[in-house]
Structure 1
Amino acid sequence: MYGRNFGVEDARKLFDELLEPDTVCWTSVISALTRNDRFKDAVELFYKIHRGCGLAPDGFTFGTLLAACGNLGWWRQGREVHAKVVTSGICGNVVVESSLLDMYGKCGSVRQSRIVLIG
C-alpha cells in the first residue's frame, strides 16, 4: 500500500522494523523503490538483505532487481544478477526471462538479449 502511494520511506521503515522479514516483504519494498524511480536504492537494498539476512530471492525479486539495473543502464550488475538467476535454478521463469530481455535491451546489449531469447 505505501509503495503504491509514493510512501516509499514508510514502506522501507516498516520493512526495517520487521523482526523476521521474508522474501515477499523484501521484494515488495524493492518493487516500491523501483516503481518510484529509486533504482539505485532498490539494488542496494537487495544486496544488503541478501548478504545480511540470507533471504533467498525468488523470480519476482530477480525480475524487479533486473528492472532496476536496466533502468540504471548497469550492464555489469545486471550480468551479475543473471548469474545469480542461473545458480539459483530459476531459469525459465517468465518474469525473470522477460526482465532479462528488458535489462539487456536497455543496456544496449542486443547480443545478450538474443542469447536469452533463443536459450
Structure 2
Amino acid sequence: MSGAPRTGPYVCGLDAAMDVVGGKWKSLILWELRQGARRFGELRRGLPGVSERVLARQLREMEEDELVHREVYPVVPPHVEYSLTEQGRSLYGALESLGAWGRRRIARIGAARLDVEHAGG
C-alpha cells in the first residue's frame, strides 16, 4: 500500500465501497470492532482462521482508508488498540443490511453457521 487512501477511478458507489471492504476479513474486522477498541490479539482470537500477517495487513489498509484508528500507548511492552473511526462506524452501519440479508439466506438454505455470536455480521 502507498500509505494514502485509494481514490478510484470508480464505476459507481458500490465499486468505491467494495474497494475498502473487499475480501474476507475486512467486514469481519468491522464486526469485531463494532462494540469498541480491541488489541491485536483479541482481534485475532475473534477471527478464527486469520493469520497474523493477513490481519496486520488488513488493519494497515483499513487505517489508510480511515476506517480504523490505531492507538499506541507509550508503555513497556507496547500496548496498541484498534477502534473504528466515524467512517468505519458509518460503513459498518451500511453493512448491517447486508448482514441481515445473509442471515435470511442462511435460514432459507439451511446453512450451518460457524458461530452464532459472529452470525450478526
TM-score by length of 1: 0.25
Larger Rg: 2
More helix by share: 1
Higher strand share: 2
